[in-house]
Structure 1
Amino acid sequence: APLKILYITNPYEAKKILNDCDAVSRAIPNQRLRQSFEISNPFTNPNEQYRQEFRKKIHKSFTLREDEWKKKFVR
C-alpha cells in the first residue's frame, strides 16, 4: 500500500496527533541520538515519569526572570 501523506494545518491538530502517538514509537527511531550523543529528552526517552519531570522543568524555566536564568544556566 502506498504511504499516506498527512498534512497538519494547525497546532491543535498536531498536538492531538502527538498525544495519540505512543511515546515508545516516537522514541525508538531516536535511539541513535541517545546512544551516539547521549541526548536524553522526551523524544529519545520513552519513560513516562522521565517525560513528565522533563516537562515540569521546562515549564518552570519559562517563568524565570533574566537574572534567574543566568544563575541557573549561564556558566
Structure 2
Amino acid sequence: MFVALICGIIQMKYQDEKEMLEKENQLLNERNELLSISYEDAAYNRKKYCIRVYNFRERSIKLERKRKFENYIKKQIL
C-alpha cells in the first residue's frame, strides 16, 4: 500500500511538471512566431540610416535616411 502511494505521488509530480512544460513550450512558440513576424516586417520595410559629419569646424553631425524608389534614391536629412 505504501509503495502504491509513493508511486501515485511521483506520477502526480511528473504529470504536473509535464503540463507546466507544455504550457511553457506553447508560450515560447507563440513568442517565437511573433518575433519571426516582426523580423520579417522589419527586413521588408528597412530603411538605411547613416551619420555624416558635414562641417568639422562646427562639430555638427546629421542623420540621413536613404530610400530607394525604383531607379532613384531619395536622401532625407533628419
Structure (1/2) with the larger helix percentage: 1
The structure whose RCO (Cα within 8 Å, separation 6+) is larger is 1
User: Same fold judged by TM-score > 0.5?
Assistant: no
Rg comparison, structure with higher value: 2
Tell me the TM-score normalized by structure 1: 0.25
Normalized per residue, the structure richer in strand is 2
